Structure 1
Amino acid sequence: MDSSRFLSASVTELKPSGIRKFFDLAASMEGVISLGVGEPDFVTSWSVREACILSLEKGHTAYSANAGLMELREEISFYLDRKFHVNYEAEREILVTVGASQALDLALRTIINPGDEVIIPEPCFVAYGPLVKLAGGIPVYVSSNSNNGFKTLPGQIEKAITQNTKAVLICSPSNPTGSMLSRKDFEKISNIIKQHDLLAISDEIYAELSYDEEFTSLASLEGMRERTITISGFSKGFAMTGWRLGFAAAPAPLLQAMLKIHQYSMMCAPTMSQHAALEALRNGEEDVQRMKTDYRRRRNYFVRSLNEAGFPCQTPGGAFYAFPSIEYSGLSSEEFAEQLLLEEKVAVVPGIVFGSSGEGFVRCSYASSLSQLEEALKRMASFMKRRQHAGAQWKTLQDF
């Protein structure tokens, strides 16, 4: 029997994640240093783990309310107000989800009708376009480049707007580039969104990891709270990737519509993870700052060393990614990543998987120990020297 005939067309057309291909290959090899994983190398804080253990010991193993523990939603509300100056009603405007990814999926499925367009600045996280398509929408990519720090210009967004545009999906700090939009950048973009009566989906999962300037939440700007769905979670800033806990914050009509889908598709987020997140918000600020300080130190070392090794790289403003150019290697980003892995056992992610704007670059996560970063840089420098030497020999032969 040909089982493929039972598959939906939208799923059949989806391409597997380009990141996963290199993770799977790296996992099959010994001695690989992975700079590809978008995951903190810190273990979740002990007090957070202890809160989970206590939750289990007390027998908190049943479902929570669909929207999440009220106590946690209240704490998220306090946190957003305190940190990012935007206020949400805990009962009707905050939804606890299974990771930020589920919150994003819910947001898109809630607002998109077949044929609606969502503008997505790229390079961008690999899931954005596929999730738009699965919701029945059309992703419209707006490119950026290293000349302006991979910041999408407001004029580019406005030029991409059509009568079918429903929303703009923005991530700052960015995955994969680490670029960060300033308050002035957001003000210009928000004016366009308001002028054209659009929605904004703001992926703020890296909000805690901004290094050189204060993070701006899009919903905090004048007139944007009522037209923004804010997506965030605990994976990155609180080093809680495996706990699978995120949240969405939005005006009640939007949030309650998202809740309807969540009720049928997921029921609720894990109860013990919610108790752990409660502790993270109440008492985890010191640990977040400690991790942030260490990331900043690694960033400064890693980016400086990349440039010295022949990989031009701008200093990212947030997250824990560097996005160096590999143009001088003469290879495509996919060829570079594959050969680097096979020859030097260093795993990076080819920029092309984040959109056409990412070609000529690779994503490197510096959420690794300094000793691993040092060794990875040595191997990358060795690889680049061989490529440059081979290129010089080839040029000499061509000239002859």
Structure 2
Amino acid sequence: MVFVLDKRKKPLMPCSEKRARLLLERGRAVVHRLHPFTIRLKDRLLEESVLQPVGLKLDPGSKVTGVAVVRREERADGPWDHALHLAVIVHRGDAIRERMQKRAAHRRRRRNANLRYRAPRFNNRRRANGWFPPSLRSWVGNVLSWASRYRRLAPIAFIEIETVRFDTQALQNPEISGVEYQRGELFGYEVREYLLEKWGRRCVYCGAENVPLEIEHIVPRSRGGTDRVSNLTLACRACNQAKGDRTAEEFGHPEVQAKAKVPLKEPAAVNTTRYAIRNGLCAMGREVRSWTGGRTKWNRERFGLPKTHALDALCVGDLAGVSSWHALVLEIKALGRGQRCRTNVDAHGFPRGYRMRSKTVRGFRTGDLVRAEVLKGKRTGVHIGPVAVRASGSFRVGKADGISWRCCRLLQRADGYGYMKGGRGASSPGVNAGASGAA
């Protein structure tokens, strides 16, 4: 589906690609944005339109976040969600962490090498309430930024988000919330999915894959073992029977007993930032509903959908069914908006070159999406892609280098993200659609 705005840039109901093409051909609309593709009507106001319930659904992850814009329909058997737009946001937390570590190493080296450096101004610095590491802060910012963008592109009436991948409190202490909670329709889904993620979907004793796995107690219950997740692992039937009433250490696998006490890294990161994301979404003035990852998996298996980030977002919430899940998926990759530092450094932190003091050259910035029409020379033809600017005015557009700025026409300003389109809801995107980030 194509996002539609009225002539005052207020969001209307999305339309099909065919209808958008007709509106553009008849001159009733203009292209407002390429990614996600959005048109703006010239002869329509929001007051003249009829809106249907549209929602934004998010499945946050530490590396990839699934996004689904849906139209909700109330039926006799319950609510059905029809996918209007599917996307995934690829975060850059690992890249930020690596750069922060390099910067710390460069500073440490300069201080220890008896070189001139600026002394710290004070040593009583305190972290503000709600402080996150830069890698997590980037992740939270990406989710909130795109939620705000989709709110400007579609008439979002409600937001549903998977706040926790696993209910870690119930996993660690299952007896706290009573038998009724543990014996509902979702009984066992939280525990099983957590164990599958933690132990790599294989038997921890023999390493067998693609075989039926059983939940196994590291310390048997006959010897005082509990049902807490720190005492559970996965094993095939043969290993489970061979282990008997011995502990994992007595069975010859002390590493299993040690790893069981270490929490899963990604759920810990998701749980750390869940309130920051939820509070940011609530500040947008829309109804926000929270769900767990166990329910998402339960819905996906009931509907018979494959495992993808976009479809996980579509399955968030209390649903009776979903449709149109074969829609194209837009991959949004966080690239950043460039660097404030205008000095390049070598492996030891010493300067080896300098960047341009002005990031803008002839009205273009690195990362802008442009269209270059070259009429003569070895680069003759049409080139569309992100541009890398130089002070000389000779740019690189996509993979074509040495293109004059006079041949370039701006399509979309750099916004810190790269875009890939292609693939359906059941597969991964893979067709290059141009980047829009600043180097």
**Which band: TM-score by shorter chain?**
under 0.3
Structure index of larger Rg: 2
Instruction: Tell me the TM-score normalized by structure 1.
Output: 0.21
**Structure with greater contact order relative to length (CA < 8 Å, sep ≥ 6):** 1
Q: Give me the TM-score of the superposition, normalised by structure 2.
A: 0.20
More strand by share: 2
